[in-house]
Every structure is written in C-alpha cells, then in structure tokens.
Amino acid sequence: MTTMKTNACISTLFCIIVVLSTSVRASSLQCKGEQNQNVDWFVLYKLPRLSNSGNHLIKEGVAYLYMDSESFAKGWTLSEKDITSNDSIPANTLAPFYNDNIAGDLFWVMYNDQPPNQPAKLNNGHTKGVVIAGETEGFWLIHSVPNFPPEPNTGNETRRSNSNKIENESEEDTSKDIPRGIYAYPSSGKVNGQSFLCISTNEANLNTIGKQLMYNQIIVYRRNLPDSLSNKYSVLTDAANQVRIKKAPYNSKINLYSTSGMEFTSFAKSSKWQKDLYDDFVAPQLNTDLYTETWMNGRGKLPSECNKTRVMNIRAISLQKANVEFHSSRDHSKWAVSADEKKKAHWVCIGDINRADTQFERGGGTVCLNVPDVWKNYKDSVEDVEPCPKPKSKGFIDRVKSWFS
C-alpha cells in the first residue's frame, strides 16, 4: 500500500513538473536579447558580406549589430555570435516554433513572399515576418530575409499557386534547401544586409497586429491555429487565413504597445492603395522628412522625392561600431529614419516594402518607434543620400504663360 502511494505521489509530482515546465516555456513568448533574456523589443542589423573586413563574421556575411530595450542607450553592439548559430538573437527568439513539445499548443503564423523551399510569390504582400501568441502574450518579428525562417514540424503548410519570381527582388531567392523543424539561416541571406524588428506584446495588441497584416496581404507559408486561441485572436486568425481588406480605405495607421507599454506606430497598405508607402503615407503622417534604405537594385526604382515632405533614398551606409561602410546596393534592409532632429520626432521605421513603382501593386508596411538613442544610431549611419531631382527648365511657351499667370 505504501509503495502504491509512493508511486502515485511520484507520478503526480512528475505531472506537476511537466505542466509547470511547459507553462514556463510557453509563458516566455517574448523577444530575446543577446544572453537569451526576455526583452521588450530589439532592432537588429545583419551586415552584408564584406570580403575586405578584418572581422571573420563580417567577411562571411553572418555578423550582426543589435540594440534592445535594455542596451539601446549604449548604441549599436556588434555581436560576437554568428547569426546562423542556435545561440543568436534570432535563433533564441524563434526557439518556441521549433520546440515540438509546446509549438502545437500555441497560435502562430509565418509569412514570407519568398518562402523557404517554395517559389517566390509575385502577388499580394511584399512582407516577411512571424507572429506567435499564447494565452496572454506573444511577439511580432518583422524582417527582410527571403527563405526565412524554416518551417517547424508542427502546424500546417500553406501553398499558393503563383510561382512567378519577384520583380528582380534580389539574387537571394536561391535557397531551396532550407532544413525543416530546426532554426537555420539561409546561405542566400548572407550576401546582403538585412533588417529585423521584434516587439514583445500582450493579448490586447495581437488583434491590432492582425488588422495590419490583413492590409499587408501577408502570404502565409505555415501556421498553427488552435481553436481556443483562434477564438481569442479572431482578427489575427483572419490574417493567418489570408483574409484581405475589401473596402476603402486601403491603408491603415495604428498605434500598438509592447509588453512594457512602449508605443509603436504601424503603417500598412494593400495593393489597392496604389501609392508609395513612405512618400505618400509615412512622411506626411509623421510630419518629417525621411531617409529611406530599401532595395533599389530592381526595376521601377523611385527617385528621391522633394516636392512635399522630403523622402530621400540612402546611397551609402557607415556603421562605425562594426568599422564598415557599404553601398545601398549591398543592403536588402527596409528601414527609414527621420532626417532632422526635431522635438519628439526621433523616428526609426523598420518594415518590409521597397521604394519602387512595382511596389504600388503590393501590400506591405513599416513599424516606427520614437527613441532618441535608437534614432541617433540609425541617423549617424547615413553616409550619403540621393539628392533631389533637378527641376526641369521651363520651355519658351511655359515662360510666356508664366508672364500672364
């Protein structure tokens, strides 16, 4: 009898430990810092592969700089870790997706117009990211990396029939051997610079994120939507099921908040809006000139725009903490920074869409934070910008008309 009681106690204790362990792991659905600690948010800059660098990680195209909610006052920190390693910031942040013991019980969605091991998608959103949520918290990771992150073992795959290539997006649509069920970083993503923004948030903001993703027309390649959490996050579920905005307006600006209450401003547009996100939406709404760093190697590149609020294309980047300089042609990042220091206008925006007329036909967006220390580090990295186009000289007839106007 004593043995039976002992075995029952051991069995009960084991179950309690398992439940508590799973609960602890599931409750850590937050962005991660360099030491795998929970952080409220982080920004990360994966540096391009630069063969002339003395740093072997930079030379191999796997180095990254970061700032997070704990370290931003120090400015950029060059990580000693390799972005492909299982101990990197992206790997630790994405770890819940590849933990088969808990991933099946969580709500999550992965989206990328250049998904791993699938053809690139021409229609709908020019968007890349993941959202994951438990009962009370989760995070949103926005990035610019094609073929990333890998598919987990759990969840359901989502395929679309469109197999056209992106409009000259990059040479990076070449990684078709991405492993499944584990964290990995694509070899194609090492060549150019890449951008990341992660926001830890709570249940009140997850449906807000879902609304923006509906405008962005995300292309989902894998998702896991448990019934209990799908009911809780009904708008995010619609986004995961690729429901689109069908009535005007076709653009949306909304504020969302991190776990600690820090405010972020999200801008989103659908393909039906047919305008440039930065010039026609972000700059006027923030009431500031912008320097923008987006992929300018494809066709349809938009020139710097100086007729209203100025939106100037960045041509060269200098990141002193890593002792590197590179041309924007080596950078696949999507970010913008307010051009002038103004009171309460220290904006940095990180997103997933480019300044090109081909992007008028695509959904996409950007998320902005207003933190002076973060702004200074992005602003100081702007080495050169494309000048405003020269105004066209008036012809004789136009000059005559001007005399009478």
Any catalytic annotation for residue 143?
Answer: no
Query: Which residues in 134-193 belong to E strands, given as ranges?
Result: 137-143, 156-157
Note the pLDDT of residue 171: 44
Of 88, 64, 91, 67, the closest CA to residue 78 belongs to 64
How far is 212 from 254, CA to CA, in rounded Å? 8
Note the pLDDT of residue 237: 98
Beta bridge partners of residue 78, listed in sequence order: 65
What's the predicted TM-score (pTM) here? 0.90
Helix or strand run (H / E) with residue 203: helix 203-216
Other C-beta atoms lying within 10 Å of the C-beta of residue 375: 18
Note the pLDDT of residue 51: 96
- DSSP characters over 226-264: -HHHHHHTHHHHHHHTT----SS--EEEEEEE-TT--EE
How far is 265 from 254, CA to CA, in rounded Å? 6
Find the catalytic residue in 126, 143, 332, 346. Answer: 332
Single-letter amino acid code for the residue at 91? A
Of 164, 171, 152, the closest CA to residue 119 belongs to 164
**φ, ψ of residue 376 in degrees (nearest 5):** -60, -40
Note the pLDDT of residue 403: 53
Report the chain (405 residues): mean pLDDT per 10 consecutive residues.
Answer: 47 41 58 98 99 98 99 98 98 99 98 94 94 98 98 88 49 69 97 99 97 98 98 98 97 99 99 98 97 94 94 98 98 97 88 96 98 98 94 57 50
Note the pLDDT of residue 401: 53
Of 167, 170, 176, the closest CA to residue 122 belongs to 167
Per-domain residue ranges of the chain: 26-385
The answer for 150, left when phi > 0, alpha when psi is -120 to 50, beta otherwise, is beta
Of 241, 234, 221, 12, the closest CA to residue 117 belongs to 221
